[in-house]
Structure 1
Amino acid sequence: MAAGWRFPSDWALPEVDSVCASVLMSGDLGGPLASLGRARAQAGSGLEETLGDLAALHAVLDGPPAPGGLIGANPDALPARLVRLIALGWAEASMDELAQVDVSERLTGLATEAYLAARLGEVYRRATRRGRCPSDDHLLIAVSVDLSEVTGWSRLLAMVLVADVLRGVFDGGESVAVLGPSVAVVLTEQEPGIAQRVSSARCMIGDRLSANDQLSSAARPLITSHRLPSTHDDARELLKHIARR
């Protein structure tokens, strides 16, 4: 873990299981590595970080740990074939994101992070034209659920339920997007009643998740409000920060 995979929640992917299974059974890593590259790109990881993850795995397989038990991950020591496989998968997913900027995320039906970033650009341009600060009129509401004890398809079901609640509560033209496997965000205008709607969303999400035995551990969502930064670039960085919660 110290050598790669900076965010522990990133381990909970079927693609990780497939790579590990192929390694243990001495199977072909071609398909699993390509799938892992796609999954890492879709999770917002850069190519450098993705290769670092692969280097950590390769270091474990390639030899004994250094004194003290730590593994030294060296991306430059990766075999060219492994780099090509995971990089092609990563690039394929990245190109898909570029080609589908305005497409909703398929599972939840919520907007993608790319669409939300474009929507934020509109908000900032309008604020500039009006001589106002975006934080005067808009805010981001982040919703994250703890899926650390949830496995398999139940993780996907959790976000489907969260998405359904957010669409129902924020149904007045707000932009509701998914930022990762366990995070959603709402771009909304600051208006009377927003606190009540946030409270309603928290209660409804908790009720939906607690009704399923496999999701009860995630039934206390973390919901936070964020004022928009002064620039669009800073707002995009804020989205990345929220996505990593």
Structure 2
Amino acid sequence: MDVSRDGSSAGPAAPIDAERAVPRGATARPARAQALRERWFACSRALGWAAAAEWPDPAVDAVCAVAPPRHPAGPSRDRAVEGALGRWAGARAGAGVGLAETLTDLAALSTAVSGSGGADGPAVVDSPRGPAAATRSAAGRHPQGPDGVRLLRAVSLAWTDVACGDLAETAAVDPLSGLASVRYLRTRLAEVYRAARAHGRAVGDGHALVVLALDVADWRRVAPLSIAGEAAGVVFDAGESIAVVGRGTVVVLAPREGLAERAAVLRRLLTRRLAAVEGVRGAPSVRIARLPATHDGACALLERLRGEAPSADPPDPA
């Protein structure tokens, strides 16, 4: 089935009608990106996308702006395509589109790009082996694009980050690592703050957070996080709360007594256990963070830790 449009003709391609999910009167795009967008949508429909009105998204246009095959080849273009696809996958997850449908849409894009890779010829989307095979085949026929397996990983990871991030906000257990979630840790902190208030003392005098920060690569972060959680459980085995916060951070809520020594033991244990684990860059960071005066302040601290990168271990604040 021919779902291509000649992207080499002068001027922008004419917009398709609302039935094909491109609104009339939309802002004009460069001809090649517009043509790719139309091919992509047609391939998606051929592969089973049902709700035409739900297909358009700003993230689609961002992908089309960097994905046409005549963009300069090289690592910078690969990174641009991978980043745009990550944002697109996150947008699909945020809109409630399932992972299977998202990967089918990725296969449609690969077919559309591959079909225009040589002379903007037709894109054939029918594949007896299904969308995953179409993605691999298209990536193989389009040598300028990132490796198809890496694209599948990047898209799956970005989709999972949004979908599981939403789930983690409402669950007591993080769905990827199996550790306690941020939501559970907030609840546990609320209990600690209430107890400190009832006894007339500052919560920071009795408890602190041990922060384990790992620089982990893309889809391989699950195993290092699980190892970090297990190591924390070995050192903190007396009922302390251990939770995952963000993509590469584990936090332990623990009593302050003897905490510096226990943190040092944990640092050595983590360094040894993570030495040969794939996807970990550099040594793990283990530090002690003092709890703020209020529960709201503690929740704000957790939000900052969610996006924090590993750094040199600062001294334990007084």
Q: Report the TM-score, using the length of structure 2 for normalisation.
A: 0.48
Partners of 2:93 and 2:259 lie apart in 1 by 47
Q: CA deviation at 1:132?
A: 1.1
**Over aligned residues, Cα RMSD in angstroms?**
3.5
Partners of 1:99 and 1:145 lie apart in 2 by 24
Q: Which residue of 1 aligns with 2:267?
A: 202
| CA displacement, residues 77-110 of structure 1 (integer Å, 9 cap, x when unaligned) | xxxxx9786333699757644652x3x2244332
Distance 1:152 1:94, change over 3 A: closer
Contact 1:141–1:187 under 8 Å retained in 2: yes
SS at match of 1:181: coil
Which residue identity is paired with 1:235? A
Matches within 5 A, 1:73-112: 86-88=94-96, 96-97=167-168, 99-100=170-171, 102=172, 104-112=173-181
Contact 2:246–2:305 under 8 Å retained in 1: no
Contact 1:165–1:205 under 8 Å retained in 2: yes
Residue 137 in structure 1 maps to residue 206 in structure 2: yes
Residue 238 in structure 1 maps to residue 238 in structure 2: no
| CA displacement, residues 158-186 of structure 1 (integer Å, 9 cap, x when unaligned) | 11111110011111111000012210000
Q: CA deviation at 1:61?
A: 2.8
Partners of 1:84 and 1:217 lie apart in 2 by 30
Distance 1:124 1:207, change over 3 A: same
Instruction: Tell which has more relative contact order, 1 or 2 (C-alpha 8 A, sep 6+).
Output: 1
Q: Which residue of 2 aligns with 1:160?
A: 226
**Aligned pairs, number:** 176
Q: CA deviation at 1:127?
A: 1.2
Distance 1:59 1:159, change over 3 A: same
Moved more, 231-240 or 84-93: 84-93
Distance 1:187 1:216, change over 3 A: closer
Partners of 2:259 and 2:210 lie apart in 1 by 10
Matches within 5 A, 1:1-245: 26=40, 28=44, 55=58, 58-59=61-62, 61=64, 86-88=94-96, 96-97=167-168, 99-100=170-171, 102=172, 104-147=173-216, 150-153=217-220, 155-191=221-257, 193-212=258-277, 214-215=278-279, 217-218=281-282, 220-245=283-308
Which residue identity is paired with 1:138? H
Q: Which residue of 1 aligns with 2:70?
A: none
SS at match of 1:105: coil
Q: Which residue of 2 aligns with 1:40?
A: none
SS at match of 2:244: strand
Contact 1:209–1:215 under 8 Å retained in 2: no
SS at match of 1:111: coil
Partners of 1:105 and 1:144 lie apart in 2 by 17
SS at match of 2:281: helix
Partners of 2:166 and 2:174 lie apart in 1 by 15
Which residue identity is paired with 1:217? R
Question: Percent same amino acid at aligned positions?
Answer: 33
More helix by proportion, 1 or 2? 1
Find the structure with the greater CA-based Rg.
2
Contact 2:232–2:266 under 8 Å retained in 1: yes
Partners of 1:177 and 1:165 lie apart in 2 by 13
Q: CA deviation at 1:59?
A: 3.9
Partners of 1:169 and 1:58 lie apart in 2 by 49
